[in-house]
Structure 1
């Protein structure tokens, strides 16, 4: 289901004499079978989020290869996104957004039309998809709905 070989991510920061390379991920090898549950544990700055961003096509690897559901993350990102559900720890929109805005944005990320994403968001977040600044439970519900955006009922 997931295979990574020598996955690397290097960022360049600063300018002039302050310019330097930051090696966020150094040669990750990973095999995850279908149905297997995996957790990434490590201290801050260990590369957990960066690795997940590469595997979900949100960040292109500097080096190495990775396939998710049989699709190459670098050359077939749309197919990868259509095959997975990804829900980040923090929301995808600004904190003052309507609850439904996150669902619409995420649905469109996965290839839904805006009209279909709005309709699905309103249906799923009934009775009040437009509440601003909702509490933690509401935000967690939005994240669960966003992660389901790639499943077939959304299309």
Structure 2
């Protein structure tokens, strides 16, 4: 690579003070040097490296699907359960175990477990607070669209400013 001296001395010799080192030169796509006369006696040196971000590994979760659950059938099945073993259990731990087994059996019937594949990891900055602020902003905008008055516009603008 043909670069010039990077430290420009006004008195004395120019020096090669700055270095860029790499263990894999085949990944270097470009490099160079720019003068910076307005703020430094050093030239700015740069290197552009070819990097590919790793593809996220899809994550598989198992979740119960409660959205299609028929609550009336669930109530009927829960009403038919024999609760005597729960009442007769000697210890609290055993009662909890029996209760959990009963609830899990009900859920297995009425809210089956589905396999969900997450192809992309959620954005780390998308917290519950941000989601709530976005919902508030969207609600304010819908209100403004229904009734286009100045107060609704100000409400939307203030809600939008919270997100940015």
**Higher strand proportion (structure 1 or 2):** 1
Greater Rg over alpha carbons, structure: 2
Q: Smaller-chain TM-score range?
A: under 0.3
Bigger share in helix: 2
TM-score by length of 1: 0.23
Structure having greater relative contact order (Cα 8 Å, sep ≥ 6): 1
